[in-house]
Amino acid sequence: MEADALHIDSWKNVKHSFSNGHIAHAYLLEGSPSKQGVDLSVRMLQLLFCEDVEKPNTTCSCCQSIRSQKHVDTLWLEPSSKSRQIVVADVENLINRMHKTSFSGGWKAAVILYADRLQPMAQHKLLKILEEPPGRSILILVSENVSGLLPTIKSRCQRIKCGASEKSFDINIETIFSIFPPQSGIEAIMATNQITEFLSAAAECHIDQLTLDQSKDDDSISKEVLDARLAAYRKQDQHMIVEQLLYWLRDIVAVQMELAPSSLFFPTYYERLAELGARYHLDELLFMLQGIEQLSRRMSTTLPERQVLEDAFREMIV
């Protein structure tokens, strides 16, 4: 579907849901934070705050203040021009604002542009409001590169595609769950290949985005700074993958212990989790968890990334 057509279709679906009172507490808009993504965010907030019968009329004072990002009950958050990151303090301020009483007596809203630029600790802090959202509040995350977001954040948001670029990439390792934990050397190699492919595709997205950012800046960014940012993104992507692997193994343990499906990170894979829970002993799963917990540290060494992954996966074969 063409980007504009996708954007229009997304808007129609959102408008229909809002008119029927089906409003989620959090949305993840997969689109450009400077184009379709921010435009849909504005429209959603206008639909929510507009006081006209025909919502949104786009010309009332509420709609105009939202368009200019000055509405009293909305907060817009994006990376600072220097760090290109959204830090913990920014998220703490957002949470504090969202828990305060609305000035207009209605909804409170926050929009995070370039949500993939949230630092890891900031993302964990954001989970607090996603897990326990205040009443009559809505949080909108906008990103072209959803691979930079924790799986737990993505799972707690209603996802809407609104013209994401072809370079948009989501690191989602669910495609390897059929061979993880690996039972043979071949499966260990297959899992390694898939993960390195995920990381390579994500790296291309980061390069494209950093190049675009540089073209928009008045000040030139040195190659050393660009390389440092790419290295930081690589480390973050590695962390995302390791975290998903840990969630998967913990889910196997949870199913083995007969915990409620609502406690799982990957509840849609319950049958596969139950199969694995019956296959392994608890001490074997705990050994695997220990190995994956050490994977981030091992990937920070000078050893080749592929070698570290394959070695770790081969150690899991029982």
The per-residue pLDDT for range 79-92, each reduced to its tens digit, is: 875 567 899 999 99
Asked whether the predicted pLDDT for residue 16 surpasses 90, the reply is: no
Write down the pLDDT at residue 171. 64
CA distances from 175 to 158, 193, 257, 293 (A): 21, 12, 25, 21
User: What percentage of the chain exceeds 70 in pLDDT?
Assistant: 89
Among candidate residues 151, 146, 157, 180, the one with its CA nearest the CA of residue 110: 157
CA distance 143 to 148: 9
CA distance 210 to 204: 10
Lowest mean pLDDT among 85-99, 172-186, 195-209, 267-281: 195-209
pLDDT digits (tens, 9 = 90+) for 96-133: 999 998 888 788 999 999 898 888 889 989 998 998 99
Asked whether the predicted pLDDT for residue 15 surpasses 70, the reply is: yes
Asked whether the predicted pLDDT for residue 169 surpasses 60, the reply is: no
Q: According to the 3-state scheme, what is the secondary structure of 135-184?
A: CCEEEEEEECCHHHCCHHHHHCCEEEECCCCCCCCCCCHHHHHHHCCCCC
Band (pLDDT 50/70/90 cuts) for residue 33 is confident
Asked whether the predicted pLDDT for residue 166 surpasses 80, the reply is: no
What is the radius of gyration, based on Cα positions, of the chain?
A: 21
Average pLDDT over residues 181-210: 88
Asked whether the predicted pLDDT for residue 210 surpasses 50, the reply is: yes
Tell me if 293 sits within 8 A of 316, measured CB to CB: no
Write down the pLDDT at residue 5. 47
pLDDT digits (tens, 9 = 90+) for 39-88: 889 988 998 888 877 778 788 888 899 888 889 999 999 887 556 789 99
Domain map (residue ranges) of the chain? 3-161, 173-314
Tell me if 107 sits within 8 A of 48, measured CB to CB: yes
Asked whether the predicted pLDDT for residue 233 surpasses 50, the reply is: yes
How many helices (DSSP H) and strands (DSSP E) are in the chain?
12, 5
Predicted TM-score (pTM) above 0.75: no
CATH number of 3-161: 3.40.50.300
pLDDT digits (tens, 9 = 90+) for 136-158: 899 999 988 787 788 889 888 99
Burial class (CB in 10 A: 0-12, 13-18, 19+), 208: middle
Write down the pLDDT at residue 278. 96
**How is domain 173-314 classified at the architecture level of CATH?**
Up-down Bundle (1.20)
User: How many C-beta atoms surround the C-beta of residue 21 within 10 A?
Assistant: 6
Written as one letter, the residue type at 100 is K
Q: What is the mean pLDDT of the chain?
A: 84
